[in-house]
Structure 1
Amino acid sequence: MLVAGIDEAGRGPVIGPMVIAGVLIEDERANVLHNLGVKDSKKLTPKRRERLYPEILKEAKACHVEIVEAKVIDSERGIKNLNGIELEAMVKIISRLRPDLVQVGSIEFKADKFRDKLSQRVKVPIISVHHAEDLFPAVAAASIIAKFTRDNIVCRLREIYGDFGSGYPSDPKTVEFLKDAISRGELPEIVRKTWGTVQRIASVSSCNALSSRY
């Protein structure tokens, strides 16, 4: 039986894309991934993820990655929320990999509700639970592929746009990058302009500019 594990990296950042990965493996090979040390990407160092990346590709029957750029997230959010955007990417991955079974972490509070939504779009049995990356090696493998891919993209973006930190709203370096860009009126396309962080900084910047005139 062919099992597809699906996971994402980059839901929360205000800068950079969201990356969703699918890894297709033979069910009986799941223990091989486990023995290699494949686990939730957040529990691994960057170096360890880098080492495991080619090992996962070697074991997988197929892999597929969907990269949702910041500008696409912004345009789509006028129609659907982030969960809806990610669900569409998952549908594309499942359609490409054509597994016998899908294992995926729920992106909604009610896992069964999310499973039902996905089941309406693809005719494949789906197991959807919270923390699936801790339970299923295929999902853990997908988390590594997604994280490694996004980290490489972010490194390239820093070379182009300068050091914006991690890209997360809680990172002071990211906030300073946004403040500087907004003050110059030059928000690059890698910024998710619909994020509350950007709108708050823009609002404060506008108020400060107005106050300085009077």
Structure 2
Amino acid sequence: MEEELKLLGMWGSLYSRRVEMALKIKRVKYEYLEQEIFHNKSALLLKYNPVHKKVPVLVHNGKPIAESQMILEYIDETWKDNPILPQDPYERAMARFWAKFVDEKCVPALWKSCMSVGPEREKAQEEACELLSTLEGELKGKKFFGGENIGFVDIVGDVLAYWVGVLQEAVGVDVLTEDKFPVLCRWAEDFRNCPVVKENLPPRDKLLAFFKTQSEMLNSLQKK
């Protein structure tokens, strides 16, 4: 019986895109279903992710898995070719640690450093730089977080390699720059130039317009 694999995602979602990257690395066939996540959420999304009502959701033979990092681990355990997590238990635990560090520490700090205003923005930028320095220290001496090949932490780090640069341009902020973080920026360029990554990044102009709209909406709310 042929497996049924569907991915509920959204074009500009870094979390959806990282799942697509993993599936492409694994050479797994799937059906992609674009979702509206801000207003009219589909019955399919509400059915398969009633708790968070967010993308991505991977539906494998009718069984849904939500939350991008959990999906990545599920993909790696289900399709063994081209592993994205290390086999060694310690290295595997460390990959999970740094991926969690990116999502739970770096992403909120970077978002805040771009979207807040005044003294709050300055404080957020200091915090973001401190976190990025820690991450850069982990990457030193390696091409990718996964070594010579893209791995779990690299895929989770897609936000730093692409989305943050576009967001910074949209709001006129410089936090993650080559002069401050040369190791991370070199990694980001190598990562973006990998064919499996390049073909799974959203169009820059479309993402830039999206972020500008979000920034304008936020600014108007803050002025009220």
**TM-score (structure 1 length as normaliser):** 0.30
Which has more strand, going by share of residues? 1
Structure showing greater Rg: 1
Higher relative contact order (CA 8 A, sep 6+): 1
Which has more helix, going by share of residues? 2
**TM-score (structure 2 length as normaliser):** 0.30
